Amino acid sequence: MPMQLTPEQLEVYHRQGYVVVEDLVSSVEVEALHNRLREYTHDGRPLGSIRVQIEPRVQRGELEVNHPGDAIRKVDSLVEGDDLFRKLGLNENIVGIISQILGPDIKMFRNALLMKAPEVGSQKGWHQDSPYWPIQPMNLCSCWFALDDATAENGCLAALSGWHKKGALPHVSVTDDFVIDEQYYDSSAGVIAPVKAGGGVFFHSLLPHYTAPNRSDKWRRAIALSYMSSKSQYTGKGKSPQYFHVKGETYPGCVR
């Protein structure tokens, strides 16, 4: 039977804006994902047209790494481009929990591998996801799936619990980032959400969140799998892009 959130866990999600769920995927599958990822980042497996983002300090020549793969910060759309990551994006435990939160008709808005190499990975400043995204209503849900044990030391997620209820907060551009304007929140209220490899943090797209730099000697790799109801509206320019279909119906006039 696929995993389901208990009523208590579902209540926690709605109250806090996030819930941590361990053991979504077996250690054997996590190992296979690790191996595949290493092939892409360190062993020359072609990424094709998949977009890769490099650590800004390495890009600017301010920091050197032992291997170019240690400088990769972000890889987009592996769910569409790789069989093992596709299986993860469609995993019945993850999608089952997402359906409890968002309903039966689901599309994937994005998926992004987020990598913090030991002592290299930089912070991601406090932000909400929805202000970045052309989707209404602002009620998407991400499963931040941990490929390594995510801890305070290597840059696990931190969140402002309950703040998803405050709506979209003003964001500003700063060096290398787009973050919530400091006058609108108090980061000292942030709580960390450690999670073991194979588990995930399910969080609301209006939840303010942050990840610290990796100051440890251990990798922190995660993939953010962001889902939306197929009844969502695309609010960007032109017509809706074709989003990855996860399950259920598609609706006329809504995201494709």
Interface ranges with ligand AKG (CB under 6 A): 114, 124, 129, 142, 144, 209, 211, 222, 224
Output the CA torsion 170→222→4→110 (10° steps). Answer: 60
Q: How far is the CB of 220 from ligand AKG (least distance, A)?
A: 8
Quickly list DSSP for 106-173: EEEEEEEEEEE-TTT---EEEE-SGGGS-EESS--EEEEEESS-B-TTTT-EEE-TTGGGG-PPPEEE
Q: How far is the CB of 126 from ligand AKG (least distance, A)?
A: 9
Q: Encoding tokens for residue 29? A: 């599958």
Closest CA to 82 of 33, 153, 118: 33
Q: How far is the CB of 134 from ligand AKG (least distance, A)?
A: 15
Q: How far is the CB of 235 from ligand AKG (least distance, A)?
A: 19
Q: How far is the CB of 154 from ligand AKG (least distance, A)?
A: 10
Burial status of residue 116 (CB atoms within 10 A of its CB: 0-12, 13-18, 19 or more): buried
In this complex, which beta carbon is closest to ligand AKG, that of residue 55 or of residue 129?
A: 129
In this complex, which beta carbon is closest to ligand AKG, that of residue 133 or of residue 234?
A: 133
In this complex, which beta carbon is closest to ligand AKG, that of residue 124 or of residue 171?
A: 124
Cα separation of the two ends of the chain: 30
How many Å apart are CA 30 and CA 22, to the nearest integer?
Answer: 13
How many Å apart are CA 23 and CA 122, to the nearest integer?
Answer: 27
In this complex, which beta carbon is closest to ligand AKG, that of residue 144 or of residue 243?
A: 144
Cβ neighbors of 186 (< 8 A, separation 6 or more) are none
Q: How far is the CB of 234 from ligand AKG (least distance, A)?
A: 19
In this complex, which beta carbon is closest to ligand AKG, that of residue 112 or of residue 246?
A: 112
Q: How far is the CB of 49 from ligand AKG (least distance, A)?
A: 22
* H or E element that contains 7: helix 7-16
How many Å apart are CA 246 and CA 162, to the nearest integer?
Answer: 28
